[in-house]
Chains A and B, each alone.
Chain A
Amino acid sequence: MVVVVVPLVLSFLLFWIYPIAAAFVNSFTDWQGFVGTRPFVGLENYARAAADPIFRQSLLNTFVFVAISLPTGIASALVLALLVNAAGRMKEIFRVIYFLPVVSSTIATAFVWRYLFQPQLGIFNQILQFLHLPAQRWLLSPDQALACVALYAIWQGLGYTMVLFMAGLTTIDSSYYDAAKVDGAGKWQVFRKVTLPLLRPTFAFVLVTNVINGLQIFAPIYVMTASGMTSGESPPGGPANSTMVIVVYQWLMAFRELQLGYGAAMGVILLFIILALTLLQLRWLRTRWDY
């Protein structure tokens, strides 16, 4: 057993624990370039982040993105789960259809959505034109771009959350529904007083994982907002930084500007935001629903 365990533990320490520890240490250094020295600068990177208007913008954008995509995504997934669950013979088929984006590569589907949003050739403006509505600039508009990405993210994640809710619904014992019916409860009342409270564990899981994933959105923004994909004329996060989120900015700073210490500090900040929000949610869910 030792032959197997020791390499496993060593590689775990080297490729997971060490880089995490190093991220904390490096966030206190002015590390520039992967082979460069790492002079200690104390809290300078954190002070820089606090004063950096683009980082502050990226924080705000990240929260706005979560605030747009999360409630809409969860609510529609719940409605969908209830509907698909009641679909009888067609249940499996609809479940598969709504689940397709979950299995598909983000890069591929984000490219397709970018094309759908394209102002001249994209379908969305074609449909608006057909309905005699004014064409929109979508991803090219600083006011709409983040909402466009959020719409894509809802489309992509809907099936996953729906299936989680469907799994949660099957754990509710039918005797609760029978009892409610005997008591003369209407459909809406059954939903509010029986289904919703008994879905509590599913809600907690969905909420926490969705927030954690939403705070780390990267690939869709990378694909949908950069104009030159690699050596790039215009980097992701535009237009006018309107879709700049924490990890996109971290990626730009670290791997394009080679400000590695600063990038590491942003990673640490992200970690603390995620930890704080997760604890807050778990606490809120407990006080809200435990009685």
Chain B
Amino acid sequence: MGGHRKKKSRVLRLTSWGKALLLFSGVILFAALTTGRNVIYLVFSLMVSFMLVSSVVATISLHRLRFARLIPQHIFSGRPFVVQTTVTNDKKLFSSFSLMVSNIFNQRELKGRYVPKLPAESSVCVAHKYLIERRGRHTFHGIRVATTYPVELFLKGYVATQPETIVVYPRIVKLNLHFLRDIISEIEDQVNRPGLGTDLYGFRKYQNDDDSRFINWKLSAKTRDLVVTKYCREENLKVCVVFDNLLHRIDESSREKFESAVTLAASLCSFFIDRGYKVKLVSGDKGIPYGEGDEQLYEILEHLALIEPKTGEEASTDFYSPGIMESGIGLLVYCEEKPRDIGNFSHVFDGAKTGGM
């Protein structure tokens, strides 16, 4: 993130104007050689020196520039984000003119921004708005700065190496509440059962195996019968999202289904964490234990961002074991084929169909 001015590869290209001037210089040189006229030699010298000085001025303009790039910490696939590039001119005297600043992303130059003037010992911050469609790990390789100043004869520039790897989270889609109503009610039903918590569940008559500590004496006196107070369970709302990344074969269509399933899994995790649930993600050979809050969400999203499909042999089916949900509600998201034995999962989602909810 820090500023630097290390140059890796330089760019020098003649523009169309430059090519025209070079060609015309050749013509003038021919005229000078054939006529021997010193005034034509003078014009030729003027053209050559004009080109040389243009090149030097462009070089001065690019000299001693420092770059700093600020990329957002969390980037979601399909959601635009802004990368701020700060260009600092460390020259004491000369301004830099006509700078085209762009980022190199995955070895490809992105559309840049034009800075007409950057005075000496000054900085300018240019914002680039990007949109990445694919989740996963990506790299901003460097910052490319180029100029055609002063008269567009040359395109001079260089790529300042500044590799920075980013993880693009899967796309988060807005889930249909109607679709999730059953799940939510089931989860809340499960939580609203008597237990040893502190929240009041209800009152009932005393039974033989009741603990005498829970007898509500005040109410018993009023009702002239032994009444015990029942409390809710102490546990939080727990959702265990199991993402089955098993694919029989990896081709374009299955890949598409897989991505759709990832989107669904990520959206489910995001949805429940936003509602204050504890969420656990189990996928392949890795599981992220129950947790809540943004940190948990980003950990899950990072895992989903980097997840890859697995074929039959290498796939692990440990997540079908009953104890994996640890008393939480189990949601299974699969990609290709619904498993025959869905075990204790209360809901099973076909990622290919419901991914775009």
Q: Answer yes or no: are A and B bound together in one complex.
A: no
User: Which residues on B are within 8 Å of A, measured CB to CB?
Assistant: none
Which positions in A face B, CB cutoff 8 Å? none
